[in-house]
């Protein structure tokens, strides 16, 4: 199966957009705040070029193209997961108890994902494809849940989040949500949905790239000075009820997770 001129233009435009976002992130100094996210952006274009080699030489439906896609996709997904953890630590790392709880939840979810992927009962398509799709969907769910947890927590306790930080996190969560829905449809209508599955992946990620492009268009604001946690005995002296609740929750979590 060869690519049409429209598909070639579409994929070429996507690579150009990836390169533009990466260049803008490097220019804005995003690596000083989110090193792993910057590495992820820098890896996008090389991975896409690697994917193109077997497609152009052997065809889109060749086994080499399939395995090249899944190897690079796994690598990028792991980088994206690491970037999400990095962003969550940036937002919540000043509260050790909360961060320990996040780490425990992430470890449990990762173990559950691997077990579910290996024991999947989906009956359509080759076994390895079913395992890869199930594992990918589980990982994307973990990414989505982690991003939502961090942002909702910051919103509830009124922790200030800069626009660029929120946009990067929301972009990662949005793409994961698209991937989860996309893979779910593919598992139910494997043959019929396959052409749309590829299209949704490309267009969904292009939307996320535009979100990041807008967020990085202006120089990054100066990072906030992170608050210093008070001792439990001093919590009663806090004048802000919101700050008091946050420190009280953190103290409890630290005690539970020691």
3-state secondary structure the chain: CCCCHHHHHHHHHHHHHHHHHHHHHHHHCHHHCCHHHHHHHHHHHHHHHHHHHHHHHHCCCCHHHHHHHHHHHHHHHHHHHHHHHHHHHHHHCCCHHHHHHHHHHHHHHHHHHHHHHHCCCCCCCCHHHHHHHHHHHHHHHHHHHHHHHHHHHHHHCCCCCCHHHHHHHHHHHHHHHHHHHHHHHHHHCHHHHHHHHHHHHHHHHHHHHHHHHHHCCCCCCCCCCCCCCCCHHHHHHCCCHHHHHHHHHHHHHHHHCC
Alpha-carbon distance of 208 to 143, in angstroms, equals 15
Nearest to 52 by CA among 115, 104, 7: 7
Structural contact between residues 38 and 25, judged by C-beta atoms closer than 8 angstroms: yes
Q: What angle do CA 25, 29, 87 make, to 5 degrees?
A: 75
Most confident of 131-135, 190-194, 212-216, 230-234: 212-216
The pLDDT value recorded for residue 238 is 42
The pLDDT value recorded for residue 60 is 72
Alpha-carbon distance of 232 to 247, in angstroms, equals 8
Which of the two residues, 185 and 177, has the higher pLDDT score? Answer: 177
The pLDDT value recorded for residue 108 is 75
The pLDDT value recorded for residue 248 is 66
The pLDDT value recorded for residue 107 is 73
Domain ranges of the chain: 5-226, 229-258
Cβ atoms within 10 Å, residue 169: 25
List, for residues 59-113, the tens digit of each pLDDT value: 777 888 888 988 998 999 999 989 998 998 888 887 777 777 767 766 776 677 6
Structural contact between residues 18 and 207, judged by C-beta atoms closer than 8 angstroms: no
The pLDDT value recorded for residue 113 is 64
């Amino acid at each position: 199966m060869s690519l049409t001129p429209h598909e070639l233009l579409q994929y070429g435009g996507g690579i150009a957009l990836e390169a533009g976002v990466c260049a803008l992130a490097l220019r804005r100094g995003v690596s000083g705040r989110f090193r792993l996210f910057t590495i992820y952006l820098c890896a996008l274009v090389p991975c896409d070029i690697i994917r193109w080699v077997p497609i152009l030489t052997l065809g889109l439906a060749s086994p080499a193209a399939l395995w090249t896609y899944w190897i690079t996709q796994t690598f990028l997904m792991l980088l994206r997961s690491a970037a999400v953890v990095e962003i969550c630590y940036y937002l919540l790392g000043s509260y050790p108890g909360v961060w320990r709880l996040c780490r425990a939840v992430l470890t449990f979810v990762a173990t559950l994902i691997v077990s579910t992927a290996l024991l999947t009962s989906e009956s359509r398509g080759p076994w390895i494809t079913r395992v890869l799709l199930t594992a990918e969907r589980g990982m994307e769910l973990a990414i989505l849940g982690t991003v939502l947890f961090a942002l909702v927590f910051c919103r509830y306790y009124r922790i200030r989040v800069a626009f660029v930080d929120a946009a990067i996190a929301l972009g990662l969560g949005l793409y994961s949500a698209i991937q989860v829905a996309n893979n779910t449809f593919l598992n139910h209508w494997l043959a019929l949905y396959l052409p749309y599955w590829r299209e949704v992946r490309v267009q969904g990620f292009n939307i996320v790239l535009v979100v990041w492009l807008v967020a990085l268009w202006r120089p990054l604001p100066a990072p906030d000075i992170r608050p210093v946690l008070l001792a439990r005995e001093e919590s009663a002296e806090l004048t802000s009820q919101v700050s008091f609740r946050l420190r009280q929750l953190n103290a409890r979590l630290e005690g539970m997770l020691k």
